[in-house]
Amino acid sequence: MSDSPAGARDASVDAPLDAATGPSGVDCFYNAQQLGTCPAPVISAAFLSQDCDATTGIFVVGTGFQSANQFDVDNGWLPHGPYALTSKLNRDSWNVLTPTFVCITTSADPQYWTGFQMQLRNPDGQLSNAVTVTNELAGRPPLPTTDSTDPFDPDACLEAGMTQQEALAHFAPSASTASIGSVDIVSHERACNSATGCGAWNAVTAVASASVGLAIAGTGSQVDLTLGSTDCNRLGASDYTLTYNTCDAYALHVAAHCLQLSRTERSAIANDGSYTQTDFGAVLRF
C-alpha cells in the first residue's frame, strides 16, 4: 500500500515523521491538539472503491490525518476525525480512520460519488489541500503503508496479503509446517467518556510472545495461519491490504514480508459516560 492509485510511488506519502522532524505520525494522530507541532494533513488521492470495512465507499489517502479521540458509541464505535469539507459528505466520522487513510461507506454510484472536490480539516483546525474524487471501483488502489515497527501504528503493514505461493516458499521440502517468526504482543489503555472523548494512553505493557507460523491443511489444498498453538484458519491471501485472519480474538493481517496484530477492547459505559479502552498490538517484519 505504498503506491498512489495511479501506481506511481510518492515517498512523501508513506514516509513517517522521525525524531529529527518532529513527533511521529502516530503521535500526531492521537495527540496533535496537545503537541501543537504537527503538520497539516496532505491528501494524495481520493476515490470511490471497494472494501471500506466490507462496503463500497470513499477513500481518502495521504498523511497527517488525526483522530478526535471520540467515537459514535451507538453506531458501531465509528471514530471521529478530520471533517470532510464537501456537501456530499459533510461529516467527521468514518468507517476506518488511520494516520494515512480514511474511508466512509457510500453506495457504488460513480455518477454521484465522483467528480467532486474533497478537502479535510483536522481536529486541530489545520486544512488539507483539495483533490477531486475519482472512480476506482474497477480495482483496489494500494494504500500508504508506513513500514514502521510501532505496534500501535495501524498503517505499519498496509501491504497486499500473502498469497499461497508466497506462503509455500517458507516451507522446506516435505514439511507440513513452517515458522515465519515470533511476535511480542503489547497493550496500553486510556480513560474515555462517551461525551467528552478519550485521554492520553498510559504506559505500554507486555502481554505475551507467540510464534507465528504456517500449516498445510485441506489435504494440501490450502495454507493455514497459526498463532502459537492456535490454528487461525486459511491464510487470508489477497491482492488487497484489508484482509485479516481472526485468531484468539486478535485480527492479523499477513503480507509477504510483514504481519500486524491488533485488538481493541472497551469496558461497559458507566452512567457518567466513562469507560476504558484497551488496545493490543504487534508488528513483525520478516
Per-residue confidence (pLDDT) for residue 9, from 0 to 100:
33
Per-residue confidence (pLDDT) for residue 22, from 0 to 100:
74
Per-residue confidence (pLDDT) for residue 33, from 0 to 100:
86
* Burial degree of 96 (CB within 10 A; 0-12, 13-18, 19+): buried
Per-residue confidence (pLDDT) for residue 139, from 0 to 100:
87
* Burial degree of 121 (CB within 10 A; 0-12, 13-18, 19+): middle
DSSP class of residue 9?
B
Side-chain half-sphere CA neighbours of 270 within 13 A = 8
Per-residue confidence (pLDDT) for residue 1, from 0 to 100:
36
**Cα 143 from Cα 146, distance rounded (Å):** 10
- Rounded to 5°, the CA angle 141-256-63 comes to 45
Long-range pairs, 259-265, Cβ under 8 A, ≥24: 259/157, 259/180, 259/181, 259/183, 259/212, 259/283, 259/284, 259/286, 260/156, 260/157, 260/284, 261/151, 261/183, 261/185, 261/227, 262/154
- Rounded to 5°, the CA angle 281-284-286 comes to 170
- Give me the tens of pLDDT residue by residue for the chain, a chain 286 residues long: 333 333 333 333 334 444 456 788 999 999 998 898 999 999 999 999 999 988 999 999 999 999 999 999 999 999 999 999 999 999 999 999 999 999 999 999 999 999 999 999 999 999 999 999 999 999 889 899 999 999 999 999 999 999 999 999 999 999 999 999 999 999 999 999 999 999 999 999 999 999 999 999 999 999 999 999 999 999 976 667 778 889 989 999 999 999 999 999 999 999 999 999 999 999 999 9
Per-residue confidence (pLDDT) for residue 239, from 0 to 100:
66
**Cell 472512480 found at:** 135
pLDDT digits (tens, 9 = 90+) for 155-172: 999 999 999 999 999 999
pLDDT digits (tens, 9 = 90+) for 9-37: 333 333 444 445 678 899 999 999 889 89
